[in-house]
Amino acid sequence: MLPVSFGLALLQTAEIAGAPLNIKLSWCLALSAVLFTIGVAGVLVQRNVIVLFMCVELMLNAVNLTLVAFSRFLGDITGQLFVFIVMTVAAAEAAVGLAIIISLFRNRETLNVDEADLLKL
Amino acid sequence: MEEFLKTNLLHPNVAWLVEASIKMVAFWLFVTLVVAYTTYAERRVLAVIQNRLGPNRVGPFGLLQPFAELLKFIFKEDLVPLAVNKWLYIAAPAVSLVPAMMVLIVYPFGPEVTIPILNIKVPLYVTHMNVGLMYVLALTSLGVYGIVIGGWASNSKYSLLGGLRSSAQMISYELALSLSLVAVILQVGTLDLVKIVEAQSGWGGMRWNIFGLMGTGFIAFWIYLISAIAETNRVPFDLPEAETELVAGFHTEYSALKFALFFLAEYVNMTTVSVLATVMFLGGWNGPLVAQFPWLGIFYFIGKVFFFLFLYIWLRGTLPRLRYDQLMNFGWKFLLPAALFNILLAAVIALIAY
Amino acid sequence: MDLVTQISQSIPAILFFATAALAVVAAFNVILQRNPIYSAIALIVVMMALAGVFLTLASPFIAAIQVIVYAGAIMVLFVFVIMLLNVRAEESITDKVKYLKFVAPALFIALLAEVGAIVGAIDAVAKPAISANTVADPSKVNGTVESIAQAMFTTYLLPFEATSVLILMAIVGSMLLAKRETPEEAKMAYDAARDYREQAD
């Protein structure tokens, strides 16, 4: 409890001081690119379909970070709305994707993507 | 208090931090104490309902019983079964307790009061956030991980079944819980918990949201109450830890302090859910004469929270447990549509009335 | 400028770097762990860390939504499915497709080079954030609930409504996919799959 609460409290302290949130756009973009890259690498090296799916979610998160960063630095709310829509799509995608994974597992009893190559369940 | 520290001692930022830290620790201790005596009250009230005496040996009327229990938990052997997944097994109790405690920083416990002798003004909340209610809901939704991970890591069929049941139950009832709060937000037009309480101060401190919007506030309150009981896994929705079916559900394999942490998390969740009900529906610290005597607000607030805690115990002594399909049918086929319809009704009334 | 003011002004940057480092470490854990449940937990940590990054970017609404939707709903589903299927740890990550092992690091290095180029090229600092608590009208401050709601229900109403249709489709689709077959149907599908596999072998 305490570390996170203190983090919030510190952030509030900084805001009270009227401090500029002195974070550079390039840092956010770099973080986003690194996370996206890790997601891509995960899709390439992992064979477990659930983990692949999680790597896709990781890539979506990285893109969300870019959108929020640009929204913040351009002073335009549209980027954050875009993130909202992306999250809705991700939720729908997770529901359908996991349903597919469950029916795949029922029929094949494996989660390895290499063994699910018959274009039918 | 911030003003006092600023003028007397410290740099303004440090003053803010000191004040926030003191209040955080104070609220934390307060909630822990409430939790300790809720367990005591639960045993005594259940005993009265079941025509027994209950614990009355440790201290006067058994009032020191919670501390005796704590000592017992500390001195028990800390057993870690061989087949468990060790890291997750140890992490799970902490994961369930930490989010439950973290919500305390946005809850308003009382109005701005003046400490008598020192003449310092203190608002009785740590901070207020623009997204306060969403912060609370976000942390509530994280609470499920402790139970799920604990159930999975224990490597026991009872624990796994308890964990699976609990995650399904908490996801289902969280929807109805969040949707019932929307009808309140329609009345006050903000997510900031402090502003929500301040908006209910009309009518001599009785303009509570439960009376608002021609009865839809009242329906929302009932939906919230039912889904809150299900969220905290209490009777009659205590399927994740149903003693007669699953031994003890997700914490079957836990003992000593780790079990105590799960136990603590459950009761802290009960308390915070009761606090949220008080803040959202029953006007928080508002009541007659609070405007004149701010200290009275704290007593109103504590009284309302204790009413909810008593309700929990009362239900436990009265109702039988639901079957699992009944629980799911009730959540998805009745409570969720009712909450959605209530939002529609509340929105139409708000559009016409305001 | 005194020391305390200096420290409190650099707090957002410190928090940004702390959460960013946490996110990167956890993201590596997502792809390198062999047990899916560890991957899932690492991904939850990534999402929480990103919520922290959003807070430092003065977007509290998105931070809260990130925790509620991603960590609180989507990842619970993932953990639930992993537990339900009782997925075991894999013996080896890349058995079959050997060449991917060499493609992935090359791509990784290329993308990291791009990151370096970005950091070198762009150098913008945000305007000072206004605390949403201190202004009279929070809808004028970017990132608050009020401002997002105003944009969502006026300018962007059509996309918002379109997502509701999308969610309805997702509900129906997942119900259809996860529907338990009758025993006869299941047996027929199983036999067909077995015959096909035998033929393929």
Residue B159 — pLDDT band, cuts 50, 70, 90?
confident
Of the two residues B254 and A4, the one the predictor is more confident about is B254
CA distance readout (Å), B187 to B195, B351, C154, C158: 12, 10, 21, 26
User: What is the pLDDT, as a whole number, of residue B28?
Assistant: 86
Percentage of chain C lying above the pLDDT 90 cut? 12
Q: Is the Cβ of A119 closer than 8 Å to some Cβ of chain B?
A: no
Q: CA of A118 to nearest chain B CA: how many angstroms apart? A: 32
Helix (H, G, I), strand (E, B) or coil at B123: strand
pLDDT of residue C125: 60
Question: What is the four-CA torsion angle of C128, C131, C132, C137, rounded to 10 degrees?
Answer: -70
Beta-carbon separation of A87 and C36 below 8 A: no
Task: Give me B168's structure tokens.
Answer: 């399904």
The model's pLDDT over A30-52, given as tens digits with 9 standing for 90+, comes to 889 889 888 888 888 877 888 88
Cross-chain Cβ contact C76/B148 below 8 Å? yes
Instruction: Please state the rounded mean pLDDT for residues B25-38.
Output: 88
Q: Quick one: which H or E segment has residue B114? A: strand B110-115
Contact with chain A for residue C185, Cβ under 8 A: no
pLDDT over threshold 80, residue B351: yes
Contact check, Cβ <8 Å, C114/A99: no
Question: Nearest residue on chain C to A50, judged by CA atoms?
Answer: C36
**What are the structural domain ranges in chain B?**
83-113+127-353
Does residue B22 register a pLDDT over 80? Answer: yes
Contact across the interface for A20 and C9, Cβ inside 8 Å: yes
Test A44 with C124 for CB contact under 8 angstroms: no
Q: Are strands B110-115 and B120-124 parallel, antiparallel or unpaired?
A: antiparallel
| pLDDT at residue B43 is higher than 80 | yes
pLDDT above 70 for B37 = yes
Average pLDDT over chain B reads 84
A-chain residue closest to C158, CA distance: A85
**What does the pLDDT read at residue C98?**
67
Fold adopted by A23-115: Helix Hairpins (1.10.287)
Tens-digit pLDDT profile for residues B232-279: 888 788 776 666 666 767 777 787 788 888 888 888 888 989 999 999
Nearest CA in chain A to B25: A2
Question: Over 90: is that where the pLDDT of A60 sits?
Answer: yes
Cβ pair C59:A42 closer than 8 A: no
8 A C-beta contact, residue B113 and residue B122: yes
- For chain C, the first-to-last Cα distance in angstroms comes to 76
Output the pLDDT for position C97.
Answer: 60
pLDDT at residue B225 in the model: 92
* pLDDT score recorded for residue B2: 62
The whole-number average pLDDT for the span B279-283 is 88
Å between C44 CA and nearest CA of chain B = 10
When pLDDT is averaged across residues B42-53 and rounded to a whole number, the result is 88
> Which positions in chain C touch B138 (Cβ < 8 Å)?
64, 67-68, 71-72
Q: What is the mean pLDDT of residues A90-115?
A: 83
Q: Which of B14, B32, B89, B28 is nearest to B252 (CA)?
A: B89
- The residue among A10, A32, A98 with the most chain C CBs within 10 A of its CB, best to mutate, is A98
Ranking A62-71, A91-100, B259-268, C141-150 by mean pLDDT, the lowest is: C141-150
Q: What is the pLDDT of residue C146?
A: 83
ipTM metric: 0.86
Where chain C has pLDDT below 70, the residues are 1, 88-98, 100-101, 122-140, 180-181, 200-201
Provide the pLDDT for residue B3: 64
**Helix, strand or coil for residue A61?**
helix
Instruction: Report the percent of chain B where pLDDT is more than 70.
Output: 94
**Overall average pLDDT of the B65-76 stretch:** 85
Q: Cβ–Cβ of C163/A88 closer than 8 Å?
A: yes
The Cα B272–Cα C91 span in angstroms is 44
Domains in chain C: ranges and CATH: 1-92 (1.20.120.1200), 156-201 (no CATH)
Segment holding B122, helix H or strand E: strand B120-124
